[in-house]
Amino acid sequence: MQVFVDCDPGIDDALALAYLASRPDVTFAGIGAVFGNNSVDVTTDNALRLLDLYGRSGVPVARGASRPLVQVPRLGDYVHGANGLGEVVTPEPSGEPVRESAAELLVRSARAAPGEIDVLALGPLTNLALALNLEPELPRLLRRVVVMGGAVRAPGNITPWAEANTYNDPEAAEVVLGAGFDMTLVALDVTMRTTAHEAWLDELGRLDNERARTTSSFLEFYVGHYSKVFGVRQCAMHDPLAAAVLLDPGLVTSSVEVPVRVELQGEYTRALTIADLRPTPAADDERPSVTLPTEVDRDVFLTRMLDALR
């Protein structure tokens, strides 16, 4: 399986990369970095560092968008730390970014292997929107796309309605969700119910290898933020759940096929993700549907995430 990861590492992005890197059947077609959890300079550097940590040095990493299509960027360093990895110091990366932009690398990769590459999008969707501008046939060149983002039947995590990745570039999200990709949208609907609890975090802390020890250190900062949200020591596993759904679709035990839109004009609801969930939705809606998971097997996922770090 060839996977192109578009991400903004980021602590939960780190776990997603660990999940993918542990699988011998996964080949990285490339990594595109984007602003989001931190500036694109930080996220690009972190992508290179994490590939070294998880044993996948040499994968092409491209610097992507430094800002949204329209609005000013709003970064998430208060969740991930100033260095994006929970203030944990990691070795300098062995590689450097390629000269292409993330959008250019994705388009070139897709053209070279039509129908063979899956995209896992874990940050704002700016790079994908820019890639669509370069290659309008991208939805037919890629095999499928799994996006972590949105909040359809759950509260947002930035505003009462908006999830962070969608909030960071709603215009890009609206373009990508309507483009016609074979897409699964892993939203807060499932990620906020897929949490790493205290016993799991303790078990991770007992794993005796560099990957697990460093990842556990990353999570301490992240857990500190989420403990304030949940009131107990645990954290949401947004991006690694999306990685797991990409590789193991059977983890999704219930889903719906619906068109999803992004509100761009609302004074209070900008970046809200909207789906027509009525029993009989509008018959004349020509917008492409996406797969929206509504239930996942949390316990199996958490076991596999630990296995990826053993």
User: What domains can be seen in the chain, in order of their start residue?
Assistant: 2-309 (3.90.245.10)
Question: pTM (2 decimals)?
Answer: 0.97
**Are the C-beta atoms of residues 6 and 64 closer than 8 Å to each other?**
yes
Q: What pLDDT, in 10s, does the model give residues 49-61? A: 999 999 999 999 9
**pLDDT for 76:** 87
Q: What is the mean pLDDT of residues 141-162?
A: 97
pLDDT(225) > 90: no
**pLDDT for 276:** 87
Helix locations, the chain, DSSP H: 11-21, 40-53, 77-80, 102-112, 126-134, 138-141, 164-168, 170-177, 188-191, 198-206, 210-230, 238-247, 298-309
Q: What pLDDT, in 10s, does the model give residues 226-262? A: 888 888 899 999 999 999 999 999 999 999 999 999 9
Q: What pLDDT, in 10s, does the model give residues 71-101? A: 999 998 889 999 999 999 999 999 999 999 9
pLDDT(293) > 80: yes
Q: Where in the sequence numbering do the catalytic residues fall?
A: 8, 238
pLDDT(169) > 90: yes
